[in-house]
Amino acid sequence: MQPEIYFRYLSGKNPDAKSLELYHAAIAHHKIEFTEKENRLHQLSMRFPFLISFIDGGLALTQPLSLYRKNIYIILCILETRPAFFPLLSSSYHKKTANGFFKTILHGTRAVLTGLFGVILVKLA
């Protein structure tokens, strides 16, 4: 499944050994068998990781419970329980800066745009 790419997509960092171990343990319980289309999207993500946010965003609008997203969701759940990633995933625990505020607006706008573009990408794939 090459989870490292999705870990990097969510956190910008490579996963540590424990996070990977947790991922494999989680996948053993939550078996993920991609449909043909999900597999195509996954292959596309492997080749062009910058497309992941578009695919993820497009599916969030059209097929929110797709297994492609479930795989990323499992990684998100694991990251949220890793102390090393606490600062990254828990900005709501820290004082906000003006920079943080603008970043949120930027991410909001990006989320909408990637979603819209993603819908087309997912349809074409």
- Contacts with other proteins by CB under 8 A lie at 9-10, 18, 22, 25-26, 29-30, 52-54, 56-57, 60-61, 64-65, 69-70, 72-74, 76-78, 80-83, 86, 88-96, 100-101, 103-104, 107-108, 110-112, 114-115, 118
Nearer residue to other proteins within complex by CB, 37 or 94: 94
Give me the sign of the Cα torsion angle 47, 52, 58, 62: positive
Phi-psi region of 2 (alpha: psi -120 to 50; beta: other; left: phi over 0): left
CB of 80 to other proteins, least distance (A): 5
43 vs 2: CA distance, rounded Å: 10
Nearer residue to other proteins within complex by CB, 43 or 90: 90
CB of 47 to other proteins, least distance (A): 18
CB of 5 to other proteins, least distance (A): 12
CB 119 within 8 A of CB 58: yes
27 vs 32: CA distance, rounded Å: 7
DSSP state of 15: P
CB of 43 to other proteins, least distance (A): 19
